[in-house]
Amino acid sequence: MNTTTASIAVEQTKNSRLNEVDFDNLGFGTYISDHMLVAQYDKGQWHEPKVMPFGNLPMSPAMLALHYGQAIFEGMKAFRMKDGKINIFRVKRHYQRMLKSLDRMCMPGMSEELFTSSLEAVVKADEKWIPKNEGCSLYIRPVVFASENKLGVKVSDQYLFVIMTSPVGPYFSKPVRLKVELEYVRAAEGGTGFAKCAGNYGGAFYPTQLAREQGFDQVIWTDAKEHKYIDESGAMNIMFVIDGKLVTPALSSSILDGVTRNTLSQLAKDMGVTVEERKVSIEEIEKSIQNGKLTEAFGAGTAAVVSPVATINIGGKDHHLPAVTDSALMMRLKKKLNDIRTGHEADVHGWNHII
Ligand code: COI
């Protein structure tokens, strides 16, 4: 059946895969929902988006994104609220960040209307895929990439904007072991670290793989000049509780402006907690663990939500953090965030986008 949502044409799948989903064991990114949205950019403008059955797209091996890396993405989430409505969380903030990523990669911007109506259409088309289990959500992955076919090194004149969704559970199943990376670099000041571009992730695989072989889940990236200050953790920003204050590295051109980082900082301020966004040195972290002032460390991200850190390895030495209790700040923040997104607590900051 073909229908129209918010003036976007929808071609319904004839073969839904919904009954293949084990909603009690979702994992992260295992299942892709039935539909995707596709819009093309050509001759200086974005053309009508369309929702269609999820599937392969025609692609030439000469497509510029494959060669020169013009590809950016976002990670967002939709929730089923307690009154049954659908909520896409912090649409505007994700839109604003996507514009910055597009701009840094010489890719064309798009109107907020195109972004928002596209999200609404694709989420609505697969609303049955929104999980109801606690801690689960419909992960939304908008991606934009250069689709012109040419071997010359150039900024593409053609792009595709695709949105797919995936019902997901927690990104990490248990508290993580992190290794402070003192050799390799994710991003340098002036580079693309703040942009959510594909290359940042591809370049991080090798050191992360080495860390995995040593028994760690992720690395903590440090500054490219001196390896002295903490940046972020690749799949998430990093936050600490030191002396009762919420401390996180200040944003720079080498750190992703995480939406969850921003949300948790605001929620902590609302709870009367002092929030410090500043340089955080490895030396400070090591000393604060040793003298007991650092009581919590956690990753913050759309996928990671609030992911407790069990161990931080600095220069080959494991530092174990206290076990996490329900009264920990991170757990109170996580609950508050979840309650706002599902309508159990008032959305005083206007973060929910109800469709
Ligand atoms: C997200 O948190 O949405 C991310 O994009 C991180 C990772 C899954 C790539």
Amino acid at 32: I
Q: Can you list the domains of the chain with their CATH numbers?
A: 5-169 (3.30.470.10), 176-341 (3.20.10.10)
d(CA 352, CA 343): 9
The residue to mutate among 97, 200, 302, having the most atoms of ligand 1 within 8 angstroms of its beta carbon, is 302
What is the residue with the minimal CA distance to atom 6 of ligand 1?
Answer: 235
CA–CA–CA angle 173, 175, 181 (5° rounding): 115
SS3 label, residue 145: strand
pTM higher than the cut 0.85: yes
d(CA 77, CA 89): 6
Q: Is residue 258 lining ligand 1, measured as CB closer than 6 Å?
A: no
How many angstroms does the Cα of residue 290 sit away from the middle of ligand 1? 31
The residue to mutate among 236, 260, 263, 307, having the most atoms of ligand 1 within 8 angstroms of its beta carbon, is 236
DSSP 309-346: EEEEEETTEEEEPPPP-TTSHHHHHHHHHHHHHTTSS-
Residue 73 alpha carbon, nearest atom of ligand 1: 5
Residue 201 alpha carbon, nearest atom of ligand 1: 9
Quick check: 303 and 247 in contact, CB under 8 A? Answer: no
The residue to mutate among 30, 141, 171, having the most atoms of ligand 1 within 8 angstroms of its beta carbon, is 171
Q: Is residue 301 lining ligand 1, measured as CB closer than 6 Å?
A: yes
What are the angstrom distances between the C-alpha of 317 and each of 311, 312, 313, 320? 10, 8, 5, 10
How many angstroms does the Cα of residue 15 sit away from the middle of ligand 1? 29
Quick check: 110 and 46 in contact, CB under 8 A? Answer: yes
Quick check: 84 and 155 in contact, CB under 8 A? Answer: no
Phi, psi of 20 (to 5 degrees): -85, -10
Q: Is residue 235 lining ligand 1, measured as CB closer than 6 Å?
A: yes
Q: Which two tokens stand for residue 224?
A: 């490219």
What is the residue with the minimal CA distance to atom 8 of ligand 1?
Answer: 303
Q: What is the dihedral of CA 299, 120, 122, 237, to 10 degrees?
A: -10
> Mean pLDDT, 10 residues at a time, over the chain (355 residues)?
68 97 96 98 98 97 98 98 97 98 98 98 98 95 98 98 97 96 97 98 98 98 98 96 98 98 98 98 98 97 97 98 95 98 97 97
Q: Which residue has 């020169």 as its token pair?
A: 68
Q: Is residue 75 lining ligand 1, measured as CB closer than 6 Å?
A: yes
What are the angstrom distances between the C-alpha of 277 and each of 139, 262, 298? 28, 10, 15
Q: Is residue 302 lining ligand 1, measured as CB closer than 6 Å?
A: yes
What is the residue with the minimal CA distance to atom 7 of ligand 1?
Answer: 235
How many angstroms does the Cα of residue 152 sit away from the middle of ligand 1? 31
DSSP 192-236: STTS-BHHHHHHHHHHHHHHHHTT-SEEE-B-TTTS-BB---SSS
Q: Which two tokens stand for residue 101?
A: 């990523």
Segment holding 264, helix H or strand E: helix 259-270
What is the residue with the minimal CA distance to atom 3 of ligand 1?
Answer: 75
How many angstroms does the Cα of residue 141 sit away from the middle of ligand 1? 9
How many angstroms does the Cα of residue 81 sit away from the middle of ligand 1? 22
Q: Is residue 303 lining ligand 1, measured as CB closer than 6 Å?
A: yes
Segment holding 301, helix H or strand E: strand 294-301
How many angstroms does the Cα of residue 86 sit away from the middle of ligand 1? 21
Four-residue CA torsion sign, 309, 135, 342, 331: negative
